[in-house]
Amino acid sequence: MKISAVEDVRFNHAKHRWGKHFSTVEIGKTRLREFFEHLGIRVFKYQGWETQEIRTNLGYRKTKVKNAEKFTAHCSDSLSIAAHTTVGKYVEPGLFLVVDDSYRPQRRRLHDTQPAKGGIREKYSRGTVFGLRKGLLVGIVKKVGQLCGEYKGGFRFYDSRSKRGSAKKLSWISTNFITRQAIPLPAKASSPLAA
């Protein structure tokens, strides 16, 4: 039988108004659970306190610094419940890749809030450059950059040092995200459940 494990995220929206982002997590959690059940996959649900207890027993550390590019900031809980649900003992963490999508552009809203004369609200940006999505990884002769706009009929891009440049033609286009290997975890000698 196929199995999956999900932490049952809960948030009291009536009591705490500052947790607006939790609603999307709850929607995603519900859709994921329904998808698994539709495929006949058994879903194990864990409460937050259960996950914490399992993580502590297995010996995984967790940091509260959520913007740190470390395994302990993002994956300790998921590995804990996965290990508990499947093998029931400590599993050595593997390679941890960070997928960086922070370069995806945010459309400015100046023209939405400040109409021109006559109350006309002109569109500032469509999020594309000659039909290509802004933020794509692009190749320019001997350079790699991220597409950010138009410039004199050509392309504007940011290079690896976040310096703007321009080119009339692109050598290649990629829709992949930027990835990098995060800070590795120190080797763990033993775990409470590893024996």
pLDDT along the chain (195 residues), means of 10: 81 66 74 90 90 93 84 88 92 82 60 67 69 84 84 86 87 81 57 41
Domain ranges of the chain: 127-176
* pLDDT value for 9: 72
Q: Are 131 and 123 in contact (CB under 8 A)?
A: no
- Please state whether beta strands 137-140 and 143-151 pair in parallel, antiparallel, or not at all (unpaired): antiparallel
Check: pTM over 0.75? Answer yes or no.
no
83 three-state secondary structure: helix
CB neighbour burial string for 115-124, b if at least 16 within 10 angstroms, e if fewer? eeeeeeeeee
Instruction: Return the closest-CA partner of residue 164 out of 181, 182, 146.
Output: 146
Find all residues with CB under 8 Å of 89, minimum gap 6, and list them. Answer: 58, 83, 191, 193, 194
φ, ψ for residue 180 (rounded to 5)? -150, 155
* pLDDT value for 178: 73
DSSP character at residue 40: T
**DSSP element (H, E) containing 56:** helix 48-58
